[in-house]
Structure 1
Amino acid sequence: MALGVTLPQAIGATLLLMGGFMFVLGFINRRESHLAYFGALSVGWAIVETQLWLRVLPIPTAAAEFLQCSMFAFIAFAGVQFLLRYAHWRQRWIDRALPLQCALMPLSLALAGPAHLHATASVWYVVLSVETAAAAAFYLHRQWHARSRSFWLMAAMLAALALAGVVEIVAQTLGTQPLAAQLAQLATPVMFVVVGLRLVQQHGRALQEAELGRAHLEQRVRDATAEIERNFRQFAELRVEQVTERERKRIAADLHDDLGAKLLTIVHTSDSERISTLAREALEEMRLSVRGLTGKAVRLADALGDWRAEVVNRLAQAGIEADWSAPEDQPQMLSARAYVQTTRILREATSNIIKHSGASNCTITCRVAEDDFQFVVQDNGSGIPLELDGRLDRGHGMASMKHRAKQLQGQCLVESGPGYGTVIRLTVPLDRAPAAQA
């Protein structure tokens, strides 16, 4: 009793619900049209199988037999289209012929009448079976050549369905319902449920892979966008640097050609020694500024030579003994900005010693480390006067020296006291020196 009523009801309801769900799923996703056809196939078969568990039909028996026979045309239509679409193959003439067949079969059955219903239906069953078998063979042929993983599973399912159909035909021919026939009647909807679950699993896996692909594509788009923005920003910065460099060179050329020539004329033609001296100092400052504007890097060894010549010469002219100590043959490079700023700091320190310290001796020591170099300038003069109240930045250009060192991302420390002389410690990072501004 459970095998004859309860189990068929459960399987039929499952097949009906699953078929409806898959039809809606395939209808929404037009690219997965095979799901819609399989859903239609499952719903059609579930309707046909209602005779297994409905004891009393709501319509006359003749009408029920007519509708049941007509449903096989719809089932064949859905089955053939499912197999073809699942094999990714479509023909317009088949799309038009199968719906026409669904209309011709009920019409022929109606014209045959109740007396010839079964004979006419048997002819149609043969035609529909041949169509379905041809579609199944075509599907398996395509799957075999595509080396699909699901070939053997689908081949087993189709073989089981074919075997169940043969058992049912034999049972109907003999007019008996043995246990094998009952099991065959239940096997068909069970196979449909298994295939449906397999299709749903494949659809879910395809959706997951599509989502992963979409996320990967979005990440690649974000990366490409970031790369484009970074390249554009670098290009804009490079463009700004190029324009700035070109403008610096133009200003340097103007200073050298115009202002430099006029200052040089004043140096050589002025009758006033003071004016000539001021013009010469201005010319030196102008040349130093031009050197900073051109942006050419300087070897640290060459820079140390320039600084030594200038500082020692100025101190000697002022009657101050100079003791210079620095390493030789340094391979490091110094940016033009760092060279200009350091030169001005040393000039300011030298001027302070000459004008304000009253020193008779000055020691200049340079040490070069891996990432920076340090100057220590120490004199034996009178030191910073007490009236500055310990605030050294307010006197003798100390604030300017510290500001220039800060621009180099370095530091300038001043140690002094009345009667103890002054010590200036200048530290400049070699690798960050190009960031300084003149």
Structure 2
Amino acid sequence: MELLDSAVERGRSGSQSPAADWQGADAACAGLATPLAVLDLRALSFNAGSLLRRAAGKPVRVASKSIRSKEVLRAVLNQPGFAGILGFTLPEALWLASDPSGIFTDIVVAYPTADEHAMRALATDPAACSRITLMVDSTEQLEWMSAVLASVAQVAPIRLCLDLDSSWRPSVRGRTVGHIGVYRSPVHTGADAVALALAVSGWKNGAGQLFTLVGIMAYEAQVAGLQDSPHTANKVTDLAKSVVLQQMQRASMAEITHRRADVVAAVRNIADLEFVNGGGTGSLELTTTDPSVTELAAGSGLFGPTLFDGYSRFTPAHAVGFAVPVVRRPAPGIVTVMGGGWIASGPAGADRSPVPVHPAGLSLIGTEGAGEVQSPLRGTVADQLCIGDKVWFRHAKSGEICEHVDALEVLDGGLRVGRALTYRGEGKAFA
């Protein structure tokens, strides 16, 4: 699969994103068994260009959890400006690192691991040791890894990245009054980071250095992963929320930019850092202005799911959607589709549900929502649908859609031009 260079350049220029053509997707996929999912090549290419424009020259590490397709990952990494993978499990990283294409040579696992088998496999594989970096945020994790590797003939030091807590803790008169962001790393201050960096450098085994610290990651979830311009039926409430959210995000970015720079400077006195990673799809143009950050991370923005419909700074193209068939007609104005309950992770709510987009005018029923086996839909257009007709949805988050299908049907200009296997289609499922 090749990205369209002209579409990437259109995304770089900031021109209007290609309009989603769900009717065209329906025609292109006529006769295919459902459920199925599609990937529009021109929309993907536009989104890739948009991410690069917003990154303003800093390399973008691709978050694999948002893609979950080797073929798509290869295609994106072949575009200048994208460099490396931000993985989500160590078994996934080992699998990618062993890919015969040789393209997955720089993989940072974004979350700590507790997989003993995978740790031993990493420690005894010279190529994997050179290609994979693990995430840590405590000496307890170092102790666990050391114990696991005690009986292993380790071939090289394990590459580590320190995870810096990027949540915002506003204070009044020196007293913390809240926690805005996610609960991940306990490493929040420069002192925390230096203590952990010293612990990493001091850990040795019989053969020498056990670990080497090569990077720092600081993901501003309260900015990158939070819509600052929500859209609901209440425009007054939406406007008020947007004002508050945008003020919070400005204050949060100012705080983490200052704190991250101090942490990076302090840790560089101890370790020769290769990279400092920051940001996500929702914050690229903000994080890239931080001089201490050497690279950015993004993944979901390549697919453009519904959770990115409420951002004021960018508008991705709708590159991915899925279809399920009509199987019932329980009442006038209502049809039931098979499955459809592809609920995204995160706090339960309507914004985590898939959204029906074609035929236009259908909506989920509040008392049932999107179901595990069936989903009733209401709308005047329902009476025009027949048993077996496809109803198309957009998913709330990116990579999770690939957990439901073996391949993405690749569309280009209204034509189906191939298939891109998902991790599932290659027999892999990484928790």
Task: With the length of structure 1 as denominator, give the TM-score of the two structures.
Answer: 0.20
Report the structure number with the largest CA radius of gyration. 1
Relative to its length, the structure with more helix (as a share) is 1
Relative to its length, the structure with more strand (as a share) is 2
Task: With the length of structure 2 as denominator, give the TM-score of the two structures.
Answer: 0.20
* Greater length-normalized contact order (CA 8 Å, ≥ 6 residues apart): 2
